[in-house]
Amino acid sequence: MTKLNDTRLVERVPPSPLSFTRPFWDATRDKRFLLQYDPRNGKYQFFPRPVSIYDGQGELEWREVSGEGEIYSYTIEVRARPPFQGHEPFALGIVTLKENVNVMANIVNCDREELRIGLPVRVCWLPLSNGTHLPAFEPRR
């Protein structure tokens, strides 16, 4: 098995939320994954935006989701910039959640041989210094 780095030891700068992304980051304090939901069109969206990507209106709901999905695509970072330099190789994935949105995140707790498109994954949380968490994904075994 070829080990990929989990990047758990990387000292990440906690994100500075924007006025309309704050609910997402606030919920990560309790390791809850919120998605914006457009009730008029019955669809979710990610990343958080100031308006619905479906009809341009701003009235959106925040809904908690399971954080389960599968890998849509991935790449293995062999070169990185600080603070990730020295933690290569690590995996980044685009994950399609069950709610049909794509999320880009670190894929952790996963060997190179296991990593593939279509791999079922679930969210796991990497702690940040300000009490919020960064979503990452690991295989559902």
Partner 1 sequence: MSLHDCAIVGYAETKIVEKGTKDVWELSGEILGSLIRTTGIEKGAIDGLILSSSMTSAGNVFWSQTVADQLALQVNFAQTVDIGGCSPLGTVARAAMAIDSGLCNNVLCLFADTQASEDNRPKRPFRQEWTSAIGYLGPPTAFGFISKRYEHQFGLDYAALGKLAVTQRNHAILNDLAVEKLRKPITVDDYLNSRMIAEPIRLLDCVMVCDGASGVLVTSRKNAERKGFTKAAIPLGYGEITHYRAGESVFDITETGHLVAARKAFEQSGTKLSDIGSFHPYDDFIIAIMLQLEMLGFCKRGQGCAFIRETDLSHGGDLPLNTGGGQISAGQAGLAGGGTNLVEAVRQLFGEGGKRQVANRKTAVVTGIGGIPYTRNFATSSVMVLSSNA
- Judged by the rule CB under 8 A, the positions of this chain that interact with partner 1 are 7, 10, 12-13, 15-18, 21, 43-47, 53-54, 72-81, 84, 87, 89-90, 92, 94, 96, 100-106, 117, 134, 136
DSSP 3-state percent helix, strand, coil across the chain (nearest 5): 5, 40, 55
Between residues 55 and 64, which has the closer beta carbon with respect to partner 1?
Answer: 55
Residue whose token pair is 């924007």: 18
Q: What is the rounded CA–CA span in Å between residue 71 and residue 51?
A: 27
Tell the smallest beta-carbon distance from residue 43 to partner 1 (Å): 7
CA distances from 73 to 54, 95, 106 (A): 24, 7, 12
Between residues 103 and 110, which has the closer beta carbon with respect to partner 1?
Answer: 103
Tell the smallest beta-carbon distance from residue 38 to partner 1 (Å): 10
